[in-house]
Amino acid sequence: MANPGFFQRQAHARRNTGLLIVLFLTAVTLITLAVCLVGYMVTRSQSSPLPFHLWLLSSHGLATAAAVVTLISVGSLVRWIDLGGGGSRVARMVGARLIEPDTKSAEERKLRNIVEEMAIASGVSVPELYVMDSETSINAFVAGYTPGEAVMVVTQGALSQLNRDELQGVVGHEFSHILNGDMRINVRLIALLAGILMIGQIGQFLLRAGFYSSGRTRSRDGRAQAALGILGLALMIIGYVGVFFGRLIQAAVSRQREMLADASSVQFTRNPEGIGSALFKIGLKSGYLDSTSHASDMNHMCFGESARMKFTSLLASHPPVNDRINAIQPGLLARLRSRLRDTEPGANLRQTGAPADRTRLGDLVSQVAEPVRGRAGSRLSPLQSSFNENLQPPPTKLSTRVGTVTPGSEAYAARLLDQLPSTFRNLLYTRAGAIQLCYGLLTYHLPDATQKEHLSLIEKHSMLGLQEELLGKLRPTLIKLGEAARFPVLELAMPALRKLDPDERHALLTNVQRLVAADNRLSLFELALTTFLNRHLAPGAEHAVPVKHRNYRSVLPAIERVLSLFARAGSTSEGQSVKLYREAMAGFCNGTAEVTTGKVSVNELKAALETLSRLSPLLKPAIIDACGHCIMHDGKVDVREYELMRLVADQLDCPMPPL
């Protein structure tokens, strides 16, 4: 059976968008009625004494309702457009500072190392990292529309007060939000809340204009100023209704996801005490964001509560800290309290809420975390030979591996990072080094004369041109690590490549295409590399792909093209290719498809993958499994087959860890 966690949660995240819209429309309706009631009280003496329900249909009532709906809609639309820049725009909104990849800070390097290890182990591009320097509390969040363009923001308190295991637990929690599609709805919720809060903000402005204007203005028309102030006060009160509904919406879409993310963190790190201890410290020291005015807007996105509030049990976006710790592992809270008493006599964890249904929450966590017990400690063989050996035998269906981190993939990631020389790794963190890496990946294996011939095709440019000195520093490590490390090191370079401006990105993609076309043939790796770079560096890469297809019939030609390519890649003869193709297509057309195992052009594959990317999340596992059937029929997955599998999975927004 396909992994129910990843794909069902992806589908659930999309369905939550519908729930969000319903709750938003409900809030808009109630706020509009409340404002209309104020308008009715103000204008009743100036018009005929109509009852309220009839006044709503009068010119005054309709004009008031239209004005309120317009204000709320405009407020949401403006913020929606403002956040179109994705996660980096959210990070700048809260005043976070970009952590440079080559940072000298030991705390920031620790965070980067943890994030890179988790990214490689899960098959997700390394997210950009930001820190909120002025926040001493412990908190973090991720933002963005797609996994490939995510950003992770942590507070300075999280960096300075959490040890490596605790920080790894927090990172694992945030990676769960990346993998499960939570980020997109989180960013959209910020925009919707901005509209709901517009009325209260207008009320604050009118209140100041009415009661805090100059004495000269009041002496001229004190009655008008007082009326303006009273109107502002009424709108402020209505604005708090908007705040209430905003909080209610945050809680409705966030609480269960936080429990699932805690459980996933345990699965990823196999260390329940890491995230448990991080939550324990939040319970002691809080995670409130005091330096930003957007703390309330961000509450549903953060690792812990980011804003103080009343009615916590009803409106909190996160379950109580104590309940989260006990759900992670029974008895963990008692052990953490005992350790605290041993080190700090008299200290005690504040109680953050009434007990919840812990049996149900514990079951939820165990469903995700139960399959992984104990930490991986086995030694790996050298990286190149371990690529196909450092994991248990691949499962029958590759979709069971999507969106997961296994002991083998984590060990592989740690092994790879340990083998990267510091000079090589630091070059990947610079734009110039990341560009030369792209050129090196396409040429490092060629004879010297052929390398020079191909590289001469790159136009001269201060940044994007060939830089022999940098390429010479990268080439020995690429040769040493071999094919298995090609995609992981490219992922490490993606934060630097994403810093290129649109013109530089276009020039890089042009140069890469020249190198690919230099020998008049296209290898599987060249196909995977060019498609990957186009996906993540092309215009609009940060935008989410909408669902358009909810059945296989409408995308059958695209499925045929992709499986035709996989059948040829996974076979050694024409007969075997035809057999694999028939078997893979059987699940989509009951064996009635024509045999089309001819060559697939790059443009045809690109169009096919773009079509399949618009499938409903619950339909994607069958595509992954059909491709996996073609490359795993012989019981193994070699590096080139993995790169092709990774290409398809990446296009479908299905993070594929190392196989």
Cα-to-chain-centroid distance, residue 35: 37
**CA 389 – CA 384 distance, rounded (Å):** 10
Q: What is the DSSP letter of 378?
A: P
What's the angle, vertex CA 288, arms to CA 287 and CA 290, rounded to 5? 140
Cα 542 to chain centroid distance, Å, stands at 11
Question: Kind of pairing, strands 128-132 and 151-155?
Answer: parallel
Element (H, E) at 349: none
Active site residue 641: no
Q: Are 381 and 389 in contact (CB under 8 A)?
A: yes
C-alpha to C-alpha distance for 647 and 70, rounded to whole angstroms:
44
Among 108, 116, 174, 273, the one annotated catalytic? 174
Torsion of CA 493, 100, 123, 387, to 10 degrees: 60
Cβ contact 140:152 at 8 Å: yes
What is the full DSSP assignment across 482-542? -GGGHHHHHHHHHHHHTTS-HHHHHHHHHHHHHHHHTTT---HHHHHHHHHHHHHHSTTTT
Please give the angle made by the CA atoms of 210, 214 and 216, to the nearest 5 degrees: 110
Q: Are 584 and 619 in contact (CB under 8 A)?
A: no
Q: Smallest Cα–Cα separation from 80: which of 183, 219, 156, 187?
A: 187
Q: At what angle do helices 639-651 and 524-537 cross, to 10 degrees?
A: 30
Cα separation of 214 and 204, whole Å? 17
User: Among residues 500, 492, 499, which one has the least CA distance to residue 421?
Assistant: 492
State the DSSP string of 18-40.
HHHHHHHHHHHHHHHHHHHHHHH
The set of catalytic residues is: 174
